[in-house]
Structure 1
């Protein structure tokens, strides 16, 4: 059977693209573990980018004929900085809703850290029994001097490895890189290390360290050695290094814990990775008249491995491009069901040589470390080419949809008309306007007139007019002939 090009993925451990093949007993099943969101805040667009990147990986693996068993962690272990009235269930449900809106394939397993506390205690106790961990007044710590090759994933030796949180406030720590397996929350615990709640353990009442939940959940759900571990680039220099150290010490089988590591770049704003409480949310885009598939297309235009600069105008442009793509040439239904390259190859008309050539080009692109920009380019060629038959185009659209997840065969172009704000503004719309006004106020205060003008132009495209008077900015929302006014005082 013709399976097309060889799938090659960049491996952060070897720092080069490698041909991928499962390492487990089932040659067709790929076991993927992903570091997921925290349950104490809304997932911003940067976090959602990570989920879309993992979704692309899963779709590519499926395209090459693999079944995928995917576990994605949700961290719901409370820390001191989390307000007590935070509702984890709300944020978990919200996050899953965002994934559905973005057409992200649901994970096979969606563990929560709190569900694997017994597993964590067992792993930590075994590490202590074998001399890999030691007790301090603040908890149980992993001895990184016992970990050969510590820091290899980050490309640093142990002396150069970046210190973890609280690195200079842990009395008695043996090595600067030693990290907590269990943090006590009782009276003898490290100040600020927890909330005073947690679980009982051989070391006292406390909470698991930041890295132990991933080791415990992945081993419980995927076996000792997952095929691929994913996460953000920011995980590579500390979190994943520590996962490897504790996991390989626990397994003690002289094998790499995970053979293939796949890290996605950050979604940046003003040249910095997005952070909670200030980064835009998916709801902000919806309130601005933008469709989730426009944001997905915006992400697919970049490469998952590299950082991507976010701009609102970029999502607006992506929505317009997606609408043009769907209206340029889309044969009427029905569309075939396609998931794999052999599916698509079999369904193409034998004499449609142009369609076969473009399908192979899509396959080559996705197999070259998930090069979605090239898949999109071949898709644009397909809808423009007079040599591709309608039957061939139906298959190509279905194939591109299987790879890119853009709902190309079902999305109504009418849903992609970008609308300015009209009528009574929603809470989300008001939040977006207020944040843009605040950003513009800050830009004017530092005399960054270019940034201030850019924000003003963006607001205008949304139907919002801004007037500056002295140290105040007044905005008016154009809606049904009426005017609504708010003001913002300069700092």
Structure 2
């Protein structure tokens, strides 16, 4: 049986690409844990980018035939002050609604930190009993000197990195990297700024920042994880401390997590998006920009790297998606003759549905499989998809299977989204469908010219498109086009090509 390419992912711990192999036996789900949002503020686009990246991993695992059991933490216990009147339930609902709008596959579990206080107290107590933690007047602290290889995930000089990282001075702390497992607040919970505290063997207080993830993941997924995901900013501190306390707790000479996957930031004006200044998904939908357009913008970059956000980029992505859907409605014909949407989730699903007499479609499917297995190279999957819809060699049925397979990988709702949902008008304009085909043929000719390094022909076509009011953007082997705002010139120039 042809299972396609091997799934290779970059492991932040080993700092190299590795073939992903789950630890469980045949039929056992992949155990995957994801650091989630804080429940006391809205999740802006920069935060949502991370969960789209995690969703791509979920889809790639499913594509290769793996079931996944995923837990995604929602942090509803924090030490920092929370604005008066904040309703965490509203922020949690907004977050989950945003994930649904972005077509993110739901996690198996959405644990809240407050639901696992007893698990945290039990883990912290075990660490103290075995000499990995010590008490101070301010709480219970983990002794990092007892953790062999502490900081290996960060790959940095942690002594230099952490020096001066926090203005907090903790009397009696043995090592400057030691961190709180439990912080005391006394009887007055308002001292913590959250209005919440719990009794413990060390006094009334709150868990430290890192304990909830270790305790909740253990309770829901077991003592060892196949994959742990999070933002790259978690790699140098939060995840380092998770590893230290978890491996000290289990003490079984096995890595707590086999594979670490970290995603880059979404930036605006060359800076990571920050709370209070970053746009939210509602800001886009209020301008009739579809969540799938934002998702497409994210897919054009690699999950591991930072990605620049612009409003214009989302507008261009929406125009690209609308043209793709307008050209081909990806309903796969049923063998009995009816037309219905066929659900494809795996590489094997797609291979079974492809016509045996359509070698071009088989080649495209295999190239998409190779791309997603190369550390989730979604930009290359998109490039293959764009070329497939322009190819004269693929049968209509084969193309529809390819589109459904691409949708399984990319999650763009290519099999269900109505082009009318993308009818946003913001000044970039839209060409009538017949003229879109003309432009697409020119783009295809230019793509072919670039592939054979005929730069003169490629530049000539770009100039022709420019005279039509079309701006062309190249990204690797893929090219997309948008209509310039000065669309008044188009009526007299569209037919002169």
In the superposition, the TM-score normalised over structure 2's length comes to 0.82
> Which residue in the other structure is 2:226 paired with?
227
1:402 aligns with 2:408: yes
Distance 2:405 2:330 in 1: 14
Alignment of 1:141-290 (within 5 A): 141-162=141-162, 166=166, 168-186=168-186, 193-195=192-194, 197-290=196-289
SS of alignment partner, residue 259 of structure 1: strand
Post-superposition offset of 1:289: 1.5
Alignment of 1:318-337 (within 5 A): 318-330=317-329, 332=331, 333-337=339-343
SS of alignment partner, residue 140 of structure 1: strand
Distance 1:173 1:196 in 2: 26
Distance 1:337 1:99 in 2: 20
SS of alignment partner, residue 96 of structure 1: helix
Q: Is the 8 A contact 1:32 1:70 kept in 2?
A: yes
SS of alignment partner, residue 257 of structure 2: coil
Distance 1:334 1:188 in 2: 61
Once the two structures are superposed, what CA deviation does each residue of 1:132-188 show, in whole Å capped at 9, x if it has no partner? 111111111101111110110000245234359745421111111110100111179
Match of 2:384 among 372, 378, 398: 378
Distance 2:236 2:209 in 1: 14
Which range is displaced more, 332-341 or 131-140?
332-341
> Structure 1's 331 and 29: CA in aligned 2 closer, same or farther, altered over 3 A?
closer
Q: Is the 8 A contact 2:23 2:226 kept in 1?
A: yes
Once the two structures are superposed, what CA deviation does each residue of 1:409-461 show, in whole Å capped at 9, x if it has no partner? 1111111122349xxxxxxxxxxxxxxxxxxxxxxxxxxxxxxxxxxxxxxx8
Q: Is the 8 A contact 1:167 1:176 kept in 2?
A: no
Distance 1:131 1:56 in 2: 41
> Which residue in the other structure is 1:343 paired with?
349
Distance 2:240 2:311 in 1: 34
Match of 1:412 among 411, 418, 425: 418
> Structure 1's 331 and 107: CA in aligned 2 closer, same or farther, altered over 3 A?
closer
SS of alignment partner, residue 395 of structure 1: helix
SS of alignment partner, residue 115 of structure 2: helix
In the superposition, the TM-score normalised over structure 1's length comes to 0.83
Q: Is the 8 A contact 2:78 2:209 kept in 1?
A: no
Aligned residue-pair number: 421
SS of alignment partner, residue 227 of structure 1: strand
> Which residue in the other structure is 1:368 paired with?
374
> Structure 1's 222 and 165: CA in aligned 2 closer, same or farther, altered over 3 A?
farther
> Which residue in the other structure is 2:101 paired with?
101
SS of alignment partner, residue 306 of structure 1: coil
Distance 2:246 2:93 in 1: 30
> Which residue in the other structure is 1:19 paired with?
19
Q: Is the 8 A contact 2:82 2:193 kept in 1?
A: no
Aligned Cα RMSD in Å? Answer: 1.8
> Which residue in the other structure is 1:480 paired with?
none
> Which residue in the other structure is 1:389 paired with?
395
Structure 2 gaps of 5+ residues are 332-338, 428-484, 486-497
